[in-house]
Amino acid sequence: MTTHYLPTGTVYGVLLNFRAEFDALAPQMNEPPYKAPPQAPILYVKTANTFSAHGADIALPAHVEEVEVGATIGLVMGDAGRVAGCALFNDLSIPHASFYRPPVKFKCLDGFLGVGGTLRTDGADPGAMSLEVRIDGQAKQRADFSQLVRDPARLLADVTDFMTLRSGDVLLLGCNAARPLARAGQRIDIVAPGFETLSNTLVKEKA
């Protein structure tokens, strides 16, 4: 069963939750100032101004030439801390070097979170899902959610150990390494079995 969907609560992203990305950055984790791998999930917020519905154009500011495509699945919370369903998301960001403390100005620009138009509520395990990113119809990336550092159940448990997720909040599962880049004029499709394809087109912001 699917229903039309847009977030009604806070959307939380998580970093370094795909094994390939974690392993690629592992050598840096032992350097100052941290000197050790993170022990808890690294979270950030995608604010409400970032939400773009399926099919909407997403405007890039004049100074932005390209963006990283962060295709992922999000757990949508229901009542009593239960997961009500899941949806596709396109977590766009301006390329940047800081993975531990991603600046808001790179991740929370207007429209920088494409949201799948349907909420999947059939109880399927997101940890067994996969998706594909297509730019102008060409396959650019595949993400297999069996390759997470923390599977969906463990990620949810670790996050709710130190904070409360309320009904309507969303917990993104993370993005795979080597995120593809896209420019104004290109269409981004995120395709996954069991979901309506999430499509957004990048355009230049009007002067």
Residue 200 contacts residue 188 (beta carbons within 8 Å): yes
Place of tokens 């102008």: 136
The mean per-residue pLDDT over the stretch 106-121 comes to: 94
Average pLDDT, the chain: 91
The domain segmentation of the chain, as residue ranges, is 2-204
**Residue 99's pLDDT is what?**
58
Beta pairing class for 42-46 and 11-15: antiparallel
User: Which superfamily is assigned to 2-204 in CATH?
Assistant: Fumarylacetoacetase-like, C-terminal domain (3.90.850.10)
Task: Supply the pTM of this predicted model.
Answer: 0.92
Q: Which of 118, 93, 145 is nearest to 199 (CA)?
A: 118
The mean per-residue pLDDT over the stretch 182-203 comes to: 97
Asked whether the predicted pLDDT for residue 103 surpasses 80, the reply is no
What share of the chain in percent tops pLDDT 90? 74
- For residue range 123-150, list pLDDT tens digits in order: 999 999 999 999 999 999 999 999 999 9
Distance of CA 11 to the CA centre of its chain: 9
**Residue 38's pLDDT is what?**
76
